[in-house]
Structure 1
Amino acid sequence: MSDPNSTTTRLLTLLNVSATKASKRKWSAVEEFPAEKLNKRKNARFLSVPEATVPGNPETPAATEIMVDAPVEPLDTAAEAEEDDELAEGVSDAYEAHYGRSPALLSESTRAAVDRHSWTTSRATYGRLGAVVESIPEGSQPGTSSETAILERLRTPFRKRQAKQPREKTEVQNDLLSILSSHRDVYLPNTAWEHKKTFREAISLHALNHVTKKRRRVLKNNERLVHATKVDPSGSPPEDVQDQGFTRPSVLVLLPFRSSAFDWFTALTSHTPAPAFQVENQSRFLAEYGLSPGMVDKLAAAEPGTYPRDHVETFKGNVDDNFRVGVKLTRKSVKMFSEFYGCDIIMASPLGLRRSIEKEKSADYLSSIEVLIVDQLEALTMQNWEHVKFVMSHINKLPKDSHNTDFSRIKPWYLDGHAEYLRQSILISALETPETRSLFNSNLKNVAGKLRVERRWSPVQVPEGIDQNFTQFDCANPKDEADKRFNYFTTQLLPLVLKSAVQSSNAAVFVPSSFDFIRVQNYFKKHSGVSFAVLSEYSTNQDISRARQAFFSGQKAFLLISERFHFYKRYKIRGIRNLIFYGPPDHPQFYTELLSCPFLDDGVEASDVTCRVLYSKYDWFRLERIAGTEAAIELVKA
């Protein structure tokens, strides 16, 4: 007996469920994607087109209902003819080669190579993007880039806007679009803030181009089906009309805050300007994803330099982290707050999606995602990375229900359960962490290959004269790293500090990991024998005020600080003379900021400040951003 959870069994169940619902109108893009001619509707009617034979079902094939207009007239205006020519030209472009009925790169050998993690790696330089590492499945051929993959209708206004911006930004966007057009996975770590908006505009254009091409292919096939039925009502429909997934959404944008969704909405609508496009429910979106009337953004209103730039850029605007919104695109409009099964783009936070999935006990609307965009990964790692892993585990899985899908229109590789091998993932982050690198290495299976931008780091700037002591502990297995670090800290480093009367007071312990922070805090409670205060992401304003005052006045000898606290609050802590980094911080600017805190007090010399950094070879990403690439290599070898 077959396994009820197997891919084949689940798919056959879906097909049989679909066949029993023949009386219902199947999902079709005609209703959702009205072309200009179809918008001029007077009387709608339904045509029945024979559905493909259902495997395992000997009954007469069900009829698939497609909503069309009567009559369907040929294209007769210059605009419509031009659009049809554009569609015909795009049929053979990179989109069709990658997402068509039979992608050339999708083979048993390439899938097997991806599953084995057998990648052929090379290095290259891509213009303004700099050095990159390219990986393709073993035995495969690298994909080609094509700037002309963007539809003319979208490319022309984009070029006009580019003409008004600095040449460097234009070159960065063009280089990025050229890579994206090959439909490879792209990982952009260490992205500078001045490039964030530049990247968003280019990537949102790529996503809009993808949705538009998919819509036009569906419309073209709808016309062919209608024409075939008119010519020969009893004949068989065309067999090459597989152009859809199980559900309509094809682009997913994962973001940390509502303000991030606001930025992506701005980037997306910059390519769909009025009066050619109308934005439906725009006022509601601005109200729910912007600031409420009368509210003042203290970060944006503060004097320049009051807060670090990365803090302002991350936390300005609406920073609610529980949201999800569907965006439906048609030829003339952008509709916000569309129902998920009727939209094209989903913008959501990992928390928002997880709550939706757990509430509905279904993630079917993620079954046909073809372009995944994850922005501000550095912020997502500071929230809850488990939410990101949860969402990733539900993308491109076979749906639990048919959702009135017309299975005769589904692309074969969806039915085979191979969608994850063609999904293009685009990852953007201000810095790289083991979690984000693991996501890139382990979760992305695109047979077209993947590309990662590299960067060499220079040492961060710290107050001159401070003696920085980097202490390495041995660890051969990453699974033992947390225990080894804790053991070295409690048996070697901390006892050494407590022996010194000077270093055992006015000492701040900075802990990057929240799990390590709880462990260290419990140790201080039970075994350290010293007074201490705590600053964590869970501290209330009153807790923070009392802890800072007690530490500054000398009532508490030690101050435990979590990296998440500093990430969210960014307080300047007075009274620090001795800094102990339980591990290098993820954000290199935190290292500089904390080492600058002692000099908030008058009369402090660099010789009065001590700094100890505990690290292992598995802290490479963090260490490289602080010490610089060259020095980090020497420290790891030590």
Structure 2
Amino acid sequence: SSILFTCSHLIMIKRPNKEATKPLKKQKLPEITFSQDKDIDLYSISSSEHSGTYILEGLKEVNFKGLSSQMPNPVQHKRLEETQNPYFKLLANYPDSYILNTSNSQKQSISEALVLHILNHIYKLKSKVQQNTSLKDPPKDQGFNPAQVLVLFPYKEQAKEFLDLVIKFHCKDKKKKLNSTSSQKYNETFGDEEENKVSDAFKFGVCVGDKRELSLYTPFVKSDIIVASPLSLKQAVSEPNLGILCSVQIVVLVEAQEFIMQNWDHIEDIFKAMNKLPDRDSVTVDLNRIMDVFLDQNSADFRQLIITSKLQTPLLMSLFNRSKRPKARTIEHYEGVVSTSPSQTFRKFQVSTFQDTPDLRFKYFTESYWPNVKEDLSPQSVVFVESYLEYVRVREYLEEYDPGVLCVSEYTPKPQRQRSFAYVKSAKNKALCITERLIYFRNPKISKIGHLVFYSLPENPEIYTKLVEVAEQVTAVFCKFDGYCLQRIVGDKRAAKML
């Protein structure tokens, strides 16, 4: 059975009187009123504004005694005092960290902290190895190869920003510290600014020199840092017997919300390939100096994970929570993005376990909702589906039971997409079924929607706002496992009551 909010586990945002000619003044957001009548819960909102408050938790309490406990004190960089911020202090204690970056000032501060932390880690290890090399009987102090840090970026643009910061801090802003080959490849890789914004095919190694020198495109097994997109690195680790990720001690996912839009399976495959026993050719250090934690294949337990993202999502939280290491994360707070127009109804379906969610969502939509509304749909209606896997299932159902609905995804050829939108706009077909990735990557122009139905809520609240602004009526289906999406749309307080 479902719970109804204004006709389902509701949040009902009433539309203003059409006869009103004067724009409404901004009002302070009132408390949500709650009343219960049998299986119907009603929440009313008269106005809304979006704002964010972020609290970094566990900053001073985190102190991980792992690999870092065996290292010398951090190297004091001349710029270190200038860039002291909570993020650097946090990362230097080696907890797994999930940091939300929602503004340009935050993004710059986080990026600088990331680079300083990575360089500091490399400096410490190199210093320790050099000190121990002079000993008669050097201890075990290394991995299988120098590739200690993996940084994943969605696009070249973010990789360039990272590399520029490495040059800024390690080379003192002097690109002449790059050798001629590195300088040439830097220009070849990042010369086209427009390509940098969309290219997700790149991978290269970075070797940090002792005299503030920097080498790019070094072989992975001889690099200190591996910089790559998930797509390119997935292709590299798919080759047999390559141990390029066998010694990773820090892995960073930058702008991680983008990976969900690209292909999350690449991330999963990369993590499966990390910290495994390599083939002999991938071992570039003295075997007698390889630490037992690597030989025993336990190094993943000591590996630090750092995630920066604009959003907090179930996929990212699942990855973040897998290890038993100490953790610190940013807590996000939202007032929501819902407005007073158009009217928006949220329907909640009941589910006990996360694994049952896809099946019960589909059952609710096909048995309890769609059959009751499909005959009365307004012209130019849209059914929005968040994931492609859900879309395939819904598409097959609609093609069989409701052929009047056209289905379009990010993989649909452009001529067919344009034709489908034109048919719906001219009322030749009654509705269109689309995906979040279609909106994200193709950005189709949608000027009017009759009835907007969210089969599942979008991860990105901006997409919700974009579609709702041109809709006459909105219905959204959700369950208790849609909490992250729901709170970004309706706000923390409303989401807590609705869930």
Deviation, 1:356, is 0.9
1:458 aligned onto 2:335? yes
Higher-Rg structure is 1
Deviation, 1:495, is 1.6
Deviation, 1:465, is 2.9
Match 2:295 to one of 401, 415, 432: 415
Residue 186 (structure 2) aligns with:
285
Q: Which has the higher strand share?
A: 2
Residue 360 (structure 2) aligns with:
484
Match 1:534 to one of 380, 403, 407: 407
Residue 446 (structure 2) aligns with:
573
1:508-547 pair list within 5 angstroms: 508-530=382-404, 532-547=405-420
Q: Which has the higher contact order (CA 8 A, sep 6+)?
A: 2
Residue 130 (structure 1) aligns with:
55
Amino acid at match of 1:329: V
Residue 441 (structure 1) aligns with:
321
Once structures 1 and 2 are overlaid, which stretch shifts more, 337-346 or 209-218? 209-218
> Matched residue of 1:561: which SS?
strand
Residue 479 (structure 2) aligns with:
616
Q: Distance in 2 between matches of 1:135 and 1:615?
A: 37
Deviation, 1:401, is 2.2
Superposition TM-score, scaled by structure 1 size: 0.65
Q: Distance in 1 between matches of 2:231 and 2:241?
A: 15
Deviation, 1:282, is 2.4
Match 1:204 to one of 90, 115, 131: 115
| Identity of matched residues, % | 28
Residue 488 (structure 2) aligns with:
625
Match 1:395 to one of 242, 256, 274: 274
Answer whether contact 1:136 1:142 (CA < 8 A) is retained.
Answer: no
1:319-334 pair list within 5 angstroms: 319-332=198-211, 333-334=213-214
Amino acid at match of 1:450: K
**Ranges in structure 1 where 5+ consecutive residues have no aligned partner:** 1-127, 163-169, 226-236, 298-315, 599-608
Residue 370 (structure 1) aligns with:
249
CA change 1:504–1:519 in 2 (3 A) is farther
1:258 aligned onto 2:183? no
> Matched residue of 1:508: which SS?
strand
Residue 27 (structure 2) aligns with:
none
Q: Distance in 2 between matches of 1:453 and 1:469?
A: 30
Q: Distance in 2 between matches of 1:494 and 1:537?
A: 24
Residue 498 (structure 1) aligns with:
374
Residue 433 (structure 2) aligns with:
560
Deviation, 1:284, is 1.6
Match 2:139 to one of 241, 247, 261: 241
Superposition TM-score, scaled by structure 2 size: 0.82
Answer whether contact 2:208 2:215 (CA < 8 A) is retained.
Answer: yes
> Matched residue of 2:496: which SS?
helix
1:376-425 Cα offsets, whole Å, 9 max, x none, are 11110111111101111111122232635312222232233321222111
Q: Distance in 2 between matches of 1:323 and 1:274?
A: 24
Amino acid at match of 2:260: T
Residue 335 (structure 1) aligns with:
215
Q: Distance in 2 between matches of 1:191 and 1:133?
A: 20
Amino acid at match of 1:557: K
Deviation, 1:370, is 1.1
**Ranges in structure 2 where 5+ consecutive residues have no aligned partner:** 1-52
Amino acid at match of 2:474: C
Answer whether contact 2:385 2:391 (CA < 8 A) is retained.
Answer: yes
Residue 75 (structure 2) aligns with:
151
Root-mean-square deviation (CA), in Å? Answer: 2.7
Q: Distance in 2 between matches of 1:538 and 1:618?
A: 27
CA change 1:564–1:400 in 2 (3 A) is same
Q: Distance in 1 between matches of 2:386 and 2:219?
A: 39
CA change 1:144–1:397 in 2 (3 A) is closer
> Matched residue of 1:499: which SS?
helix
Residue 182 (structure 1) aligns with:
93
Amino acid at match of 1:130: I
Amino acid at match of 1:157: R
CA change 1:182–1:486 in 2 (3 A) is same
